[in-house]
Amino acid sequence: MAAPPLLALQNIRLTLGAAPMLDDAELIVSPGDRICLVGRNGSGKSTLMKIAAGELASDGGTRFLQPDATIRYLPQEPDFGDVPSTLAYVEAGLKPTDDPYRARYMLERLGLTGEEAPARLSGGEGRRAALARVLAAEPDVLLLDEPTNHLDLPAIEWLEAEIAALRSAVVLVSHDRRFLDDLTRATVWLDRGRTRRLDKGFAHFEAWRDQVLFEEERDRHKLDRKIVAEEHWVRYGVTARRKRNQGRMAKLQDLRRERREQRRVQGDVKLSVADAGMSGALVVEAEGVSKSFGERRIVRDFSTRILRGDRLGLVGANGAGKTTLVKLLTGALRPDSGDIRLGASVVAATLDQGRAALDPAWTLQDALTGGAGDKVTINGATKHVVGYMKDFLFAPEQARTPIGRLSGGERGRLALARALSLPSNLLVLDEPTNDLDLETLELLQEMLADYPGTVIVVSHDRDFLDRVATSVVVSEGDGRWVEYAGGYADMVAQRGFGVGGEPAPAPDRKPARASATSPAAAVDDPAPARAARRRLSFKEKHALETLPGKLDALRARLGQIEAALADPDLFARDRDRFAKLSAVAAETAAALDAAETEWLELEMLREELEG
């Protein structure tokens, strides 16, 4: 017999503005659950988490929490109140029966002393203190809203292991795919105010979502056909008995109402980048570059060559100097020693981590147009700013909205829209995944795969780096930076461990025990720190999908050239044409051979990884 749920939300309704945000939403949390709550920015995930935590009342529906169950909630923006120190803040979250040492232990593991004044904490420090508070209590239900925001990779990997070792039931909201893949066993999809549940982890979500949307579109098409048939009867049908006619009219009205009440999926973000023309083959060359601030060495004797089309990822702990290295590579900062050379015709566009380029007093329209009129120019084509806003899922009435009133996800989309509107052949992206929903991340990855220029990306998102980067530069400490081929997983395989150094020892706690309330706890929990496994990068997957078409085109072209060369009179009639066709045939054959070799190597790699 299944254990009763610890927390149950049923038929939750909430209206903010004209349209309902939540409409009969449900969330059932049982002992040992590992649930990810997914949905687009603005779909109501944080709102549903607040209702689950008891911090927000709904307009309708029921919330049930087992009387003896404890619950802890990590909001995106924690409120520290007027506590004097981070230790006092964490201790205030403990139950009377909890071990008080847990507060200091968690703070130390998260890099805090406990003496910090909450009012002076940075975003990352505040997130660590809030995590220490909710983890120290070891509650029955743990609600985590974007727990990896502002954390560096060592902290994310430690947090992943810590959550995996907990006995608590966990509900996660996160944009970090790898984090969700590793930790979750069930998925709740919040879409257009309603929830759907899949009793599988996030790794299975996208295929399931696509199937649901396909079936929904098919049913909508059937409904439209029914309406057309009924409207045809109204116009041209033979008049029958009045009662029957009224019934048919009522049926038509019901069908029309059903179609009106259907809430369609919000459109996709349309990402396009303004092209500044092709740069030279060499984009950046660094030789023996060093940079220090006082006694602290940030970069020491670093050399690299970045060529057109490269996607370079920079990873390291917070404070390692990633932003400094980016400024050195782009010429925004002079090195203390060594040489930095930028290639010909390099035009850079930057998306900074802090979104500092966005003035909170600006309106959305001013941010996109620079305060000059109501037009934006993308690749030489002029477009009305409202149309460009719609490409990034902004409503027309938001054109005059001050940036300070936008949500974190909306500010992230706006910063991305602004950066992509600037002509460039070098994109510098500092934490581009912050506050973006998973669908927008997918489109950003596709856009970067097709981008003809060069990309330098700073990110703590392991999955994003695996899908985008062709090489990764890692901080080894004391100003040393080392470049590894491939994405993050490739770097871990070559280096032997992640950014945080050797894996941290498991937390000193009693092992989780299977019980009547959590029979699967000891069996189904993911490993605390899954061994890094090689995955196809996004570029490799893209190549596997596009190479067959490229091979067909090359074979067809080679066949046409060979057919022309087969003319026995061509050499005597037009020697220059024969020579040119022969040269093109040789080039095409070489390109075909290279493409076939690349496809074969990728297919063998895919079979090896999947096998």
Distance (Å, rounded) from C-alpha 247 to C-alpha 244? 5
Mind listing the pLDDT tens digit for each residue in 429-481? 888 887 677 777 877 888 788 788 899 999 888 888 998 899 999 998 889 99
Q: In what order do the strands lie in the sheet with 296-307?
A: 296-307, 282-293, 337-342
Instruction: State yes or no: pLDDT of 381 exceeds 50.
Output: yes
Instruction: State yes or no: pLDDT of 510 exceeds 50.
Output: no
Mean pLDDT, rounded, of the chain: 81
Report residue 534 CA to chain centroid gap: 20
Mind listing the pLDDT tens digit for each residue in 238-286? 554 444 455 655 665 665 565 555 554 455 556 666 666 677 788 999 9
Distance (Å, rounded) from C-alpha 511 to C-alpha 514? 10
Do the domains spanning 7-207 and 282-495 agree at the CATH topology level? yes
**Confidence band, pLDDT 50/70/90 cuts, at residue 553:** confident
Strand partners, 275: 424
What's the token pair of residue 550?
Answer: 């490229």
**Confidence band, pLDDT 50/70/90 cuts, at residue 154:** confident
Integer Rg of the chain from CA: 28
Q: Domain 7-207 - what CATH class?
A: alpha beta
Mind listing the pLDDT tens digit for each residue in 180-228? 999 999 999 998 889 999 999 999 998 898 888 888 777 777 767 766 6
Which residue, chain included where needed, has tokens 């659950």?
A: 33
Phi and psi dihedrals of 574, rounded to 5?
-150, 85
Contacts of 174 (CB under 8 A, 6+ apart): 36, 144, 146, 147, 148, 180
Instruction: State yes or no: pLDDT of 530 exceeds 60.
Output: no
Asked if CATH classification 1.10.287 holds for the domain at 538-610, the reply, yes or no, is yes
Q: What share of the chain is helix, strand, coil (3-state, %, to 5)?
A: 40, 20, 35
Find, among 142, 132, 133, the residue nearest to 111 by Cα. 132
Q: Determine the pLDDT at residue 28.
A: 95
Find, among 218, 230, 184, 190, the residue nearest to 203 by Cα. 184
Side-chain-side CA neighbours of residue 202 (13 Å): 22
Note if the pTM is more than 0.85. no
**Confidence band, pLDDT 50/70/90 cuts, at residue 564:** confident
Instruction: State yes or no: pLDDT of 123 exceeds 70.
Output: yes
Side-chain-side CA neighbours of residue 103 (13 Å): 18
For 282-495, the fitting CATH number among 2.40.50.500, 3.40.50.300, 3.20.20.210, 1.10.1510.10 is: 3.40.50.300
Q: Which amino acid is at 595?
A: A
In 153-262, the DSSP E strands lie at 169-173, 186-191, 194-198
User: By the 8 A CB rule, do 426 and 283 touch?
Assistant: yes
Find, among 406, 389, 440, 415, the residue nearest to 40 by Cα. 440
Instruction: State yes or no: pLDDT of 130 exceeds 50.
Output: yes
DSSP string, 375-425: EEEETTEEEEHHHHHHHTT--GGGTT-BGGGS-HHHHHHHHHHHHHHS-BS
Q: Determine the pLDDT at residue 115.
A: 92
Other CB atoms within a 10 A radius of the CB of residue 100 amount to: 12
**Confidence band, pLDDT 50/70/90 cuts, at residue 63:** very high
Of 217-231, 300-314, 386-400, 415-429, where does mean pLDDT reach its minimum?
A: 217-231
Mind listing the pLDDT tens digit for each residue in 46-57? 999 999 999 999
Length of the chain as a residue count = 611
Strand partners, 349: 427
Domain residue extents for the chain? 7-207, 282-495, 538-610
